[in-house]
Amino acid sequence: MSAPALASTSRSARSSVGRKLAAYNASPTQALALLVIALLLIAFLVVPIVRVIVVAFTGPAGGFSLVHFGDFFRTGLLRESFWNSVYVGVMTVVVASLIAVPLATLLSRFQFRGAALIHTLGVLPLVMPPFVGAIAMQLIYGRNGTINLILGDHFGFRIPFMEGLNGVIFVEALHYFPFILLNLSASLANIDTSMEESAQNLGASGFTLFSRIVFPLALPGYVAGAALVFVKVFDDLATPLLLNVNAMLAPQAYLKITSVGIADPMGYVISVIMICAALGAMAISTLALRHIDFATTQRGGGGLGRRSLGRFGNTVAAVFVVLILLLVLSPHIGIFLLSIGTVWSFAELPDGYTLAHYATVFSEAQGLIGNTVLYCGLAGLIDVIIGAVLAYLVLRTRLPGRKLVEQVALAAVAVPGLVLGIGLLRTYYDVHLPFTDVPFATFWLMLVIAYAVRRLPYALTAATAALRQLHLSLEEAAENLGAGKLSTLSRIVVPLVTGGLFAGFVTSFATAAVELSATLLLVASERDAPISYGIYVYMQSAAGRGPGAALGVIAVVTVAIATYCAYRLSERERDRRSRGGLAV
């Protein structure tokens, strides 16, 4: 075959592919990007999970069967667990909203001096190191915790903060409200000022203005956050276990899967049902927003004007913020006291104070901190990049299969860490790194991948919410000026959705920093271990409680510093933008 003939065939082939892609409103690069993301998800999520949960679909005599799902619905305890999980999920969204919505409003609509503080402290509840957080919560709110001991001594009654389903709701709301806070404030920041001003002009103010105009406009962010809260609460097992509430789905699945020597497939059946429920919640939230064009940022940002609060307003706001922060940060205060306390037992405060635990930690566990920053930073970065690209492809192209890829990515939120851990080990233990005999599964990068996969949904929902608000014309303008799809994405879209991406990064980073279930399975040597592993190891004995808490404090501080830096970065970006586009 001659060269020109070859060239012409390939050109005609390309142009026919190009025509097809044009029909999908996509460039070849975008199609390629979707393909790469799909392959990554298949490799590190779908295949590993399927290899584990296949037992849920295997009958007692082998072969495909749905008999176990029948058993699920025939079992009273599991039905009860299902409804309890739904109830707790919904109520947590309500309570978390009561905390997050005022905070987000204060942050994005008023000049409030503590804004950076709220931003940083507002993320900390997510950074609740397992075990330490549990002990700290019990020491403060438990039936013989600080508050109840004080109440009991002075007033003769106790409040069962930590009992039953309502206890779960209380703890979960304190833990997960940042999802709503982060997403909602990103959304609020993207609303054009004139939307609000026109309502004021027509006579709306205060609560009416907020509930009728501002909040509905920020709905994409709120719904994204609320859906995440619901799904996380639905899947969270640490809190129900801590409060000893077993009749919920997540603890039921966990207890089944992690019981040594039990071959009951029910644990995996529950996992499948939880994944479906999570997808259902996400789908409902998308459905709720389907007809609404929320692209309110026409001038490219600036956001709502921040009004001054006045002295009275400032005082009220400060009191409210301090109260909420005290409430949500009490476990962290507890961890801190634990880390500097000698013995703390059935008392309002520790018996004495010491720095010995920090000395222990610094002499034994320095590498852990660097590992955590490296792994979680990388995981957060991967999430933000994949999340932004995928959200873009889903909203702006009509490539076939993009919705499916999105659904798969979202499903990761409901995958128990242990299931993913086992799946990754099973799939990649025999794959060795080139030129070594180190199994890929226990190489430290696999931890990064496990973190990134399980937290991709946070970044994806955040990016989707931000993009939904971004008017298409801003991109079209760039394309019109000769920017390709890729440079439009990187030069126009990404800078404009920085706020949303920031929210995604922080959530991924912070929650990865304290992830334990997959960590425990994938860490192969102490040298490669992150802080969460160190905390686990210390918290296995009475003597390790102090050092474990000290490590917990270090984890919290690390995340706080990283969050603060990321916040400053994104604020600078926002300032730069709004100065450019300010119309007087």
Q: Interaction with other proteins in 340-369: which residues (CB under 8 A)? A: 342-347
Is residue 541 at the binding interface for other proteins, with CB under 8 A as the rule? Answer: yes
The burial class, CB within 10 Å (0-12 / 13-18 / 19+), for 199 is middle
Residue bearing tokens 């970044």: 459
Encoded one letter per residue, x for contact with other proteins by CB under 8 A and - for no contact, window 112-141 reads: -----------------------x--xx--
Answer for which of 11, 212, 398, 491 binds other proteins (CB under 8 A) is: 212
Distance from C-alpha of 245 to C-alpha of 232, rounded to nearest angstrom: 16
> Which among 211, 167, 215 is positioned nearest to 191, based on CA atoms?
215
Stretch binding other proteins (CB under 8 A), from 175-183, 263-271, 390-398, 481-489 = 263-271
Pair 92, 229: CB distance under 8 Å? yes
Nearer to other proteins, 12 or 258 (CB): 258
Is residue 415 at the binding interface for other proteins, with CB under 8 A as the rule? Answer: no
Distance from C-alpha of 326 to C-alpha of 233, rounded to nearest angstrom: 22
Stretch binding other proteins (CB under 8 A), from 27-35, 38-46, 426-434, 562-570 = 426-434
Measure Cα distances from 240 to 251, 322, 361, 541 in Å: 7, 27, 29, 22
Is residue 261 at the binding interface for other proteins, with CB under 8 A as the rule? Answer: yes
Answer for which of 225, 251, 331, 387 binds other proteins (CB under 8 A) is: 251
- Which uninterrupted H or E stretch holds 146? helix 146-155
Q: Long-range contacts made by residues 537-545, C-beta under 8 angstroms, separation at least 24?
A: 539/131, 539/132, 539/135, 545/135, 545/338
Strand partners, 308: 111
Q: Tell me 307's DSSP state.
A: E
Distance from C-alpha of 37 to C-alpha of 358, rounded to nearest angstrom: 42
Is residue 544 at the binding interface for other proteins, with CB under 8 A as the rule? Answer: yes
Answer for which of 460, 521, 556, 562 binds other proteins (CB under 8 A) is: 521
Nearer to other proteins, 117 or 147 (CB): 147
Rg (CA), the chain: 25
State how far Cα 510 lies from the chain centre: 8
Is residue 200 at the binding interface for other proteins, with CB under 8 A as the rule? Answer: yes
Is residue 5 at the binding interface for other proteins, with CB under 8 A as the rule? Answer: no
Is residue 143 at the binding interface for other proteins, with CB under 8 A as the rule? Answer: yes
Answer for which of 32, 433, 543, 565 binds other proteins (CB under 8 A) is: 543
- Residue 110: phi and psi, rounded to 5, are -130, 155
Q: Tell me 545's DSSP state.
A: H
Stretch binding other proteins (CB under 8 A), from 107-115, 414-422, 473-481, 482-490 = 414-422
Answer for which of 109, 119, 332, 545 binds other proteins (CB under 8 A) is: 545
Is residue 144 at the binding interface for other proteins, with CB under 8 A as the rule? Answer: yes
- Residue 146: phi and psi, rounded to 5, are -50, -50
Stretch binding other proteins (CB under 8 A), from 14-22, 169-177, 397-405, 521-529 = 521-529
Q: Which residues 6+ apart lie within 8 Å of 47 measured at CB?
A: 423, 427
Give min distance, CB of 18 to other proteins, in A.
30
Encoded one letter per residue, x for contact with other proteins by CB under 8 A and - for no contact, window 31-70 reads: -----------------------------x------xx--
Tokens of 413: 């939120």
Residue bearing tokens 């404009």: 496
Nearer to other proteins, 252 or 507 (CB): 252
Stretch binding other proteins (CB under 8 A), from 1-9, 94-102, 406-414, 532-540 = 532-540
- Which uninterrupted H or E stretch holds 308? strand 307-308
Is residue 194 at the binding interface for other proteins, with CB under 8 A as the rule? Answer: yes
Total site size for other proteins, rule CB under 8 A:
96
Task: Write out the binding residues for other proteins, residues 271-310 only, by CB under 8 A.
Answer: 291-296, 298-299
Is residue 542 at the binding interface for other proteins, with CB under 8 A as the rule? Answer: yes
Measure Cα distances from 4 to 13, 14, 15, 141, 532 in Å: 14, 15, 16, 79, 61
Answer for which of 104, 539, 559, 566 binds other proteins (CB under 8 A) is: 539
> Which among 569, 545, 580, 435 is positioned nearest to 134, based on CA atoms?
545
Answer for which of 476, 479, 526, 575 binds other proteins (CB under 8 A) is: 526
Task: Write out the binding residues for other proteins, residues 65-104 only, by CB under 8 A.
Answer: 67-68, 71-72, 74-77
Nearer to other proteins, 253 or 494 (CB): 253
